[in-house]
Amino acid sequence: MSNSNVSQLPDYITSAKPNPQSNRAPWYKNTAPTYAGIFLWFVFWQDAAKAANLGGTLAQGLGVALGGLVISALICHYLFYLVPGLLGMKTGLPLYIVGTSTFGAKGGFFMPGFLMGVLQFGWLGVNTYFASLALAEVIPVPAQVLMVIWGLLAAFVGLKGIQYVAKVATFLPLIPLITLLLLLAKTAGSIGSFDPAKLIALQQAAAPTASTCSVGVCSVVAVIMTYVVGFFATAGAAGVDFGTNSRDKRDVSMGGLIGVALAIVFTAGISMLVVAGVYGSPELSAKAVAAGAEKKSFILDSFNLIPVVLGAGPAKWIMFALAVAAFPPACFSSFIAANSFKTTLPKVNPFISVGIGAAVSVVLAVTKLAGDAIGVFVIIGASFGPICGAMMVDYLLSGGKWSGPRAGFNPAGWVAWLLGFIVGILPNVGVHVPAAPVTAFIIGAVAYFVCAKVGLQSAVVPLPAKR
């Protein structure tokens, strides 16, 4: 290879070493349990039945809601995870290297590398907000103070002590798993009596002046897709990193089908069943309405229904335990952000870059902006939906393999991302876009295909022969 070609490749590309086969393991030892742990996080499943419309995602019945959930789970696996996972498995290289074929040797430094780090602080803000509210039910300290402590501590541990958290995190997912099964056992008997019309009537009676409306089947499915896919978008692109630990295509596929698709249906599905069971029981629904009146809202999230189902005393400690179990995900978000910044901002002390990000996370939590989980999911979906779409088309156009880094800033990738992001972010400025993260994915995929066909891809720069 010529010296001119070498000069086009930054050191972070030429120095990258593939993960050898000897370091890889079966899907049930790495990919599946790690992804499943993400979906066991209560911040994901708690709002599965919640939406702005009357009746939430249960407005058209439990069957429609569960059907929408299955569709969303399959989209996450086949469109957002599978190609990144295969790229990681085939190359053994991490996302910030593999992404250079889509966004260029220089462009990949920022997209998806730097962007992945930035968005982790959005996750940290959401984690900090909900975990601190739960902790404040037991610890006699204002929730806002706990938010400051939680956010900064998670950032510090993510920088320095993640190996210790990882050991504890192996067992902590058992807490949300047991909680979900317990809630399901207590409400299963009344699920068959659930009637969405009665739920809507209860919600209308509780908030007669609310500017909400009922929606159709397609709208319900679109809301569920926005919620689930938006949550998963960054983790889908991170499938490249998960794939580097996979031995073959079967490991990649099974890791996604079990750890992603099945885990989504299991956790969010049980959450929906619990809400349906509560409002299918006259006794529990009366308690839920009363509890909602105290909070000045109508409760459709399974987390705030825990006291209704299990009683205030036990619920307080269960909610506390769920908050504790959310600490490792907070640390992992900081850890991923730190790694991203160390790569993209090598001359900046990570304590400064991560510290600034953690401060932003705390501000998002304290101001309650992070409390709008679905709004955060839309932003993340808009950011990473077109990245996943462009990567998939790039992979297919390259014959099912990684083409290698492209020179500079690959125009096709950046045009695809910009168009997809603009469309995907429109709901946050009041413009309706159905299933915005999925729409952003489609826009990104189509735009990359068109750009590639009209010659807007920069040239591939050959890697050294040792690759």
pLDDT in tens, 2-61: 444 445 687 778 878 899 999 999 999 989 988 998 899 998 999 999 987 889 999 999
Residue with tokens 């969010």: 268
What range does the domain containing 182 cover?
28-204+220-382
In a domain, 467, yes or no: no
Whole-number pLDDT of residue 164:
60
Q: Which backbone phi and psi does 410 adopt, to 5 degrees? A: -65, 110
Confidence band, pLDDT 50/70/90 cuts, at residue 162: low
Q: Tell me, yes or no, whether 15 lies in a domain.
A: no
Joined tokens for residue 467: 């690759």
**pLDDT tier for residue 65 given thresholds of 50, 70 and 90:** very high
Residue 171, H or E segment? none
| CATH number for the domain harbouring residue 161 | 1.10.4160.10
Mean pLDDT of the chain: 90
Q: What is the mean pLDDT of residues 129-137?
A: 92
Domain presence at residue 226: yes
Distance from C-alpha of 157 to C-alpha of 160, rounded to nearest angstrom: 5
Q: How far apart are CA 202 and CA 205, in angstroms?
A: 5
pLDDT in tens, 165-222: 666 667 888 999 999 999 999 999 999 999 999 999 999 888 765 545 567 899 999 9
Rg (CA), the chain: 22
Write down the pLDDT at residue 465. Answer: 57
| For range 94-122, the mean pLDDT | 88
Are the C-beta atoms of residues 225 and 3 closer than 8 Å to each other? no
How is residue 278 written in tokens? 């509560």
pLDDT tens track for 346-391: 778 888 888 999 999 999 999 999 988 878 888 888 999 999 999 9
Checking if the pLDDT of 225 tops 80, the result is: yes
Residue 62 lies in a domain: yes
393 within some domain = no
| Tokens coding 173 | 């997912």
The reply to whether 97 falls in a domain is yes
Token output for 184: 């399901």
Residue by residue, DSSP assigns 389-428 as: HHHHHHHHHTTSS---PBSSS-HHHHHHHHHHHHHHHGGG
The answer to whether residue 370 sits within a structural domain is yes
Which residues contact residue 312 at a Cβ distance below 8 angstroms, ignoring those fewer than 6 apart?
none
**What domain count does the chain have?**
1
Q: Say yes or no to pLDDT of 271 above 90.
A: yes
* Structural domain includes residue 406: no
Q: How many CB atoms lie within 10 A of CB 209?
A: 5
What's the chain's length in residues? 467
Is residue 361 within 8 A of residue 125, CB to CB? The reply is yes
pLDDT winner (highest mean) among 108-122, 229-243, 364-378, 440-454? 440-454
pTM listed for this prediction:
0.91
In angstroms, rounded to a whole number, what is the distance separating the alpha carbons of residues 182 and 135? 21
Taking the C-alpha atoms of residue 315 and residue 429, their distance in angstroms, rounded to an integer, is 37
**Who contacts 40 (Cβ-Cβ below 8 Å, separation ≥6)?**
173, 176, 177, 263, 267
Q: What per-residue confidence (pLDDT) applies to 337?
A: 83
